[in-house]
Structure 1
Amino acid sequence: MGKILIFAGTVEGRRLAEFLDSQKKECYVCVATEYGESLLPEGEYICSSSKRLSAKEMKELMNKEGIDYVVDATHPFAVEVSENIRFACETLEKKYIRLLRDEDSIEEKNDCILVGSVGEAVDYLMETDGNILVTTGSKELKEYTRIPQFKKRVTARVLSTPEVVMECSKFGFEGKNLICMQGPFDEELNYCLLKQTKASYLVTKESGKAGGLEEKLLAAKRAGVKVILIGRPKEQQGYSFEQVKLYLCKEEKIKWKQHITFVGIGMGTKQTMTLEAWNACEMADVLIGAERMLQTVKELRKPKFSSYKIEEIKQFISEHLEYGNIVILVSGDIGFYSGTKKWMEQLSDYPISRINGISSVVYFCGKLGIPWEKTALISLHGREQNIIHAVKNNETVFALVGEDNGIPALCKELIRCGLESVVLHVGENLSYSNERIVTGTPKELVTEEFERLSVVVIENRIPEQVVVTHGIRDEKFLRDKVPMTKSEIRSISLSKLELTREATVYDIGAGTGSVSIELSMQAFNGMVYAVEKKEEAVNLIQLNKNYFGVSNLQIIEGEAPDALKELPAPTHVFIGGSSGNLKEILASVLKKNPSVRIVMNAITLETVMEAVECVKEFSLVEVDIASVAVSKSKEVGQYHMMMAQNPVYIISCRGGGSKENGTLS
């Protein structure tokens, strides 16, 4: 196993030492000062030194410790030190690796005066008036004494160590001319110091992101201060932190797990991100997400991969082992229709962390002043959900809308189902400068145009008290002369079906649609397909669908089994009329789902005999046959006479096969 020596004058060097320690890999870390040593992470596998070394001493250390790899992570301006390290490595034939700082392109550079050295900066400042805040360190502070009246004009900000303070005092920098502080410094603190010193000029080095350059530039711009920027020496060659880490892992056969964090970023602006989410992005090696989300954190200037497709994301992660700390950005909150669950299943081989964000329902209901603890939550974004049922049964419904013309289409459906009086609050571009919230009834908003990605809160101030049991009275249905399954038979048949809320149901031989309507109401999160061959009956089903205001009912005109070919596999099937095709119908539905639940109604003995034969032939299970004779009262003068209806045989059963994970077997 090779030994690694790190000259760690930068954040990147300290991060590398911390990483190697976490992998239980010994490393020797050299820094130039005790202060630098105090910044090093404490670790069982880290050995450190704070002594400045000459080229000769570097060679002695490499030989003594048996070093194989030398990582030069010194500051870009430590040119002489880098040359000594390189010379020592070449002499001893050690592997030299230059770790470069993250040099980012910052637009504010265009407003700076670029110079090549501290001396050039001083030459420029000697021809100016006004106070100067110097943040270039103590090493070259003597240069600034050439500025006329420097004690009045120049304030130096340096590290807060006794050695540095003594060095500065030798050159006349003390008292109000000397600020001793330890970074990092954010934009606000830089701004306050510029205002306090009444600076007209700020002198800084092009130290990149790790050196806090961006924060200085932003503060100077706010304060109206001119920046004198000392350009960093051009690196001949070198590698990024991720590249160095990957190289050492391969050479030393360090096996390490990439870690993935799913981060909910809120509405889309930095202001709606939690501090925990922002910190996670700051610590990330790479950020992954849709371009809109990456824009929210662009100021962090992190490596990024723009994608929302899990296959592409998975491939990217597997191909880029240099990224250990991976953050995947999710809109809103990770637990609210975000797709995070599916993604986590696909990435289950990796250690995963989760950070919640502010969801759109929390943000939007807060804007509207509407409590959301009893609000029904729906997503119409890439999925079918029965929003009409939700609106009928709840005072408030929140929905994500992600389709073109989504809001107008929703308004049309509300109008069709008799919900014209509800109030809609539509929100788009939430949290952005062009945020828009529009309120109105379905008729008022049906012609409006909205963004594709919108949200809506629907208020139904008088929700229906919906009957939760089946058995709608026969006279409620529009019937004409079309045969209809009577209420009592309908109730028993629906009970035998053992419906679930998410059921996919065929109603074959639907007639007036009375069974289909009740199926839709019971399986309100599923879908019902009313299959009917007669045009008159099809028209009646449509009328009853509109009258009862159900949205999860599709009418299929045609004769079974041919009409069933393009339909999704059913979980439940009701057969009220087969037109002599019972065997073929059962074969078709059992092929789609071998464990489908089936209920058949029969009046004639011939149909009963055929059903019993099919039960045997298809090896159906859980078979139950009931003969139901219903008598209903009829007023005759002052009396009530019982009138018998035709007896009906109700055959219920289930396919004997299995359906696992959506795959039929």
Structure 2
Amino acid sequence: MSEAPWLTIIGMGEDGLDGLCGASRSALEAAEIVMGPKRHLSLIPEGKARRIPWPVPFSDGVERLMALRGQPTVVLVSGDPFWFGAGTTLARRLGRNEWHAYPGRSAFSLVAARMGWGLEATLCIGLHAAPLSRLKPQLAPGRQMIVLLRDGAALRDLAGYLAAQGIGASSLTVMESLGGPRERLTETTADTLPDIAFSHPVCAALRVAGDGAVLPLASGRPDDAFDSDGVMTKRPVRALTLSALAPRPFEHLWDIGGGSGTIGIEWLLSDPSLRATAIEPRGDRVALIRANADRLGADRLTIVHGTAPDALEDLPAPDVVFVGGGLSPQLLAYLETLPKGTRLVANAVTLESEALLTASHSRLGGELMRVEIAHSAPIGPKRGWRSSFPVTQWSHVL
């Protein structure tokens, strides 16, 4: 018979013991050690168990907990431990037979119950340690979302961010200490947030309103959504390129010759499970990529300052590679050594780069496509077509 787990993770609400099931209470009574934030520890009566306040930063508490391995221990966390909660972090460090969890009512469920919102139609997001720009791709009139925040100061930052995005008219219901005796709800808008102190734990129910710019859902976002020094894959070609890259859940992209970061950023905006690494030789463009990614909610983009293929040696293997700059025989030779099934897409504008792609296509196969785009432009009092440089694109699966 297997041994009982040494660790029990209990999700608590602001109502303390009143909100716990019988199994949770039994685990608390049997524990030799109880760890948790001071707020949670204050919600349970003194007992025989040794109490350890969870330290700051959070990672220090994880290491402290791991040192207790084998001793009957209870960890108190907020609400549902596995919905933007600490349970996920702890479970990754432990074997499946080492822990057991009793989830409490999540903050999202409590907020939905106060607002009368269907959770299936509401964006639920935790921003305890994530930047507010994570909201950017989701900001569209009519969108309703529940946002968990670190503290009252973060709430004020949220209101300022929304106003700066041109959606200060968004309704904001601030909720403090949900489910407990100190519960308080404040109905306001982002640009009229009252000058009062909001206490932790705090979250917000938000319904977006206003005329701020909305990021389209389809690939090929407007060029003016990105800052650029003039080097970027323009919108029509970018849409064709993302279509050729064909993002699939959990895939990792190498964006070689990142430029302004447009390809890597749009790749990440396709799905939250995707990863991307941009490789860029110029330091000023590295800073430009970082600024674009952070502002557009793609802060998880990894950026490598270096020249391919040398800068590729120690990177996590890609599922897909895009070459938008720095094309060379050495780079193509290196890419051919990547694992079978890796997808390659390369764009070329110069005759020299086009010749490299044509030779690779002749030798390895794949699809070779030439894209020529013209825009209307004035010709005296009338209009005509002004052509951009044609782009040659090679797509291939190793």
What is the TM-score of this pair, normalised by structure 1? 0.45
| Preserved contact between residue 420 and residue 441 of structure 1 (Cα < 8 Å) | yes
Q: Structure 1 unaligned runs (5+)? A: 1-254, 617-621, 657-665
Is the aligned partner of 1:258 residue 2:22? Answer: no
- What is the CA distance between 1:391 and its match in structure 2? 3.7
Q: Give the match for residue 426 of structure 1.
A: 174
Q: Give the match for residue 630 of structure 1.
A: 372
Is the aligned partner of 1:313 residue 2:65? Answer: yes
**Correspondence 1:614-629 to 2 at 5 A:** 624-629=366-371
- What is the CA distance between 1:414 and its match in structure 2? 2.9
Q: Which amino acid aligns with 1:360?
A: A
| Preserved contact between residue 407 and residue 446 of structure 1 (Cα < 8 Å) | no
**Correspondence 1:634-653 to 2 at 5 A:** 634=376, 645-653=388-396
> Residue 398 and residue 605 in structure 1: after superposition, are their counterparts in 2 closer, same or farther (change >3 A)?
same
> Residue 465 and residue 587 in structure 1: after superposition, are their counterparts in 2 closer, same or farther (change >3 A)?
same
Distance 2:77 2:229 in 1: 56
> Residue 403 and residue 501 in structure 1: after superposition, are their counterparts in 2 closer, same or farther (change >3 A)?
farther
- What is the CA distance between 1:378 and its match in structure 2? 1.0
Distance 2:158 2:340 in 1: 36
- What is the CA distance between 1:337 and its match in structure 2? 2.2
**Correspondence 1:580-619 to 2 at 5 A:** 583=330, 598-610=344-356
1:375 to 112, 122, 133: 122
| Preserved contact between residue 428 and residue 451 of structure 1 (Cα < 8 Å) | yes
2:218 to 442, 447, 469: 469
**Correspondence 1:371-520 to 2 at 5 A:** 371-383=118-130, 386-392=134-140, 395-402=143-150, 405-445=153-193, 450-451=198-199, 453-461=201-209, 467-472=216-221, 482-500=230-248, 507-510=255-258, 515=263, 518-519=266-267
> Residue 418 and residue 525 in structure 1: after superposition, are their counterparts in 2 closer, same or farther (change >3 A)?
farther
> Residue 509 and residue 261 in structure 1: after superposition, are their counterparts in 2 closer, same or farther (change >3 A)?
closer
Q: Which amino acid aligns with 2:395?
A: S
- What is the CA distance between 1:340 and its match in structure 2? 2.2
| Preserved contact between residue 262 and residue 340 of structure 1 (Cα < 8 Å) | no
Is the aligned partner of 1:298 residue 2:45? Answer: yes
| Preserved contact between residue 176 and residue 202 of structure 2 (Cα < 8 Å) | yes
1:330 to 77, 99, 105: 77
Query: Helix, strand or coil: the match of 2:12?
Result: coil
- What is the CA distance between 1:422 and its match in structure 2? 1.9
Q: Give the match for residue 356 of structure 1.
A: 103
> Residue 641 and residue 505 in structure 1: after superposition, are their counterparts in 2 closer, same or farther (change >3 A)?
same
Query: Helix, strand or coil: the match of 2:233?
Result: coil
Distance 1:443 1:483 in 2: 36
> Residue 562 and residue 440 in structure 1: after superposition, are their counterparts in 2 closer, same or farther (change >3 A)?
farther
- What is the CA distance between 1:630 and its match in structure 2? 2.7
| Preserved contact between residue 279 and residue 308 of structure 2 (Cα < 8 Å) | no
> Residue 292 and residue 419 in structure 1: after superposition, are their counterparts in 2 closer, same or farther (change >3 A)?
same
- What is the CA distance between 1:471 and its match in structure 2? 3.5
Q: Which amino acid aligns with 2:202?
A: S
- What is the CA distance between 1:494 and its match in structure 2? 0.8
Distance 2:163 2:329 in 1: 39
| Preserved contact between residue 9 and residue 75 of structure 2 (Cα < 8 Å) | yes
Q: Give the match for residue 14 of structure 2.
A: 268
Describe the superposition over 1:53-78 as per-residue Cα deviations: whole angstroms up to 9, x where unpaired.
xxxxxxxxxxxxxxxxxxxxxxxxxx
Q: Which amino acid aligns with 1:329?
A: L
Describe the superposition over 1:521-555 as per-residue Cα deviations: whole angstroms up to 9, x where unpaired.
4245657659584969987996x889xx7222579
**Correspondence 1:24-35 to 2 at 5 A:** none
Distance 2:21 2:290 in 1: 55
Describe the superposition over 1:426-485 as per-residue Cα deviations: whole angstroms up to 9, x where unpaired.
3344445554444443344498765565322222157998644324466x6689993553
Task: Name which structure has the greater RCO, CA cutoff 8 Å, separation 6+.
Answer: 2
Structural RMSD (CA): 5.1
- What is the CA distance between 1:332 and its match in structure 2? 0.8
Distance 2:138 2:310 in 1: 30
> Residue 629 and residue 260 in structure 1: after superposition, are their counterparts in 2 closer, same or farther (change >3 A)?
same
Distance 1:555 1:353 in 2: 35
Distance 1:486 1:602 in 2: 13
Q: Which amino acid aligns with 1:458?
A: L
Describe the superposition over 1:207-255 as per-residue Cα deviations: whole angstroms up to 9, x where unpaired.
xxxxxxxxxxxxxxxxxxxxxxxxxxxxxxxxxxxxxxxxxxxxxxxx9
Q: Give the match for residue 58 of structure 2.
A: none
> Residue 432 and residue 388 in structure 1: after superposition, are their counterparts in 2 closer, same or farther (change >3 A)?
same
Describe the superposition over 1:618-663 as per-residue Cα deviations: whole angstroms up to 9, x where unpaired.
xxxx9734122335475999x9987765442223356x7xxxxxxx
| Preserved contact between residue 409 and residue 446 of structure 1 (Cα < 8 Å) | no
Q: Structure 2 unaligned runs (5+)? A: 55-60
| Preserved contact between residue 10 and residue 74 of structure 2 (Cα < 8 Å) | no
**Correspondence 1:45-84 to 2 at 5 A:** none
Q: Which amino acid aligns with 1:401?
A: L
> Residue 490 and residue 383 in structure 1: after superposition, are their counterparts in 2 closer, same or farther (change >3 A)?
same
Distance 1:450 1:582 in 2: 60
- What is the CA distance between 1:602 and its match in structure 2? 0.8
Is the aligned partner of 1:522 residue 2:270? Answer: yes
Describe the superposition over 1:5-59 as per-residue Cα deviations: whole angstroms up to 9, x where unpaired.
xxxxxxxxxxxxxxxxxxxxxxxxxxxxxxxxxxxxxxxxxxxxxxxxxxxxxxx
> Residue 445 and residue 263 in structure 1: after superposition, are their counterparts in 2 closer, same or farther (change >3 A)?
same
Query: Helix, strand or coil: the match of 1:470?
Result: coil
Q: Which amino acid aligns with 1:470?
A: S
| Preserved contact between residue 404 and residue 452 of structure 1 (Cα < 8 Å) | yes
Query: Helix, strand or coil: the match of 2:42?
Result: helix
Q: Give the match for residue 65 of structure 1.
A: none
Describe the superposition over 1:76-101 as per-residue Cα deviations: whole angstroms up to 9, x where unpaired.
xxxxxxxxxxxxxxxxxxxxxxxxxx
Distance 1:449 1:624 in 2: 61
Q: Which amino acid aligns with 1:333?
A: D
Query: Helix, strand or coil: the match of 1:358?
Result: coil
Query: Helix, strand or coil: the match of 1:365?
Result: helix
| Preserved contact between residue 265 and residue 298 of structure 2 (Cα < 8 Å) | no
Describe the superposition over 1:291-324 as per-residue Cα deviations: whole angstroms up to 9, x where unpaired.
433332224x142452654444344242x4xx5x
- What is the CA distance between 1:267 and its match in structure 2? 1.7
Distance 1:377 1:289 in 2: 27
> Residue 469 and residue 606 in structure 1: after superposition, are their counterparts in 2 closer, same or farther (change >3 A)?
same
Distance 1:256 1:525 in 2: 35
Distance 2:250 2:194 in 1: 29
| Preserved contact between residue 14 and residue 181 of structure 2 (Cα < 8 Å) | no
Distance 1:517 1:314 in 2: 37
**Correspondence 1:179-328 to 2 at 5 A:** 257-260=3-6, 262-270=8-16, 272-281=18-27, 283-290=29-36, 291-299=38-46, 301-306=47-52, 309-318=61-70, 320=71, 323=72, 327-328=74-75
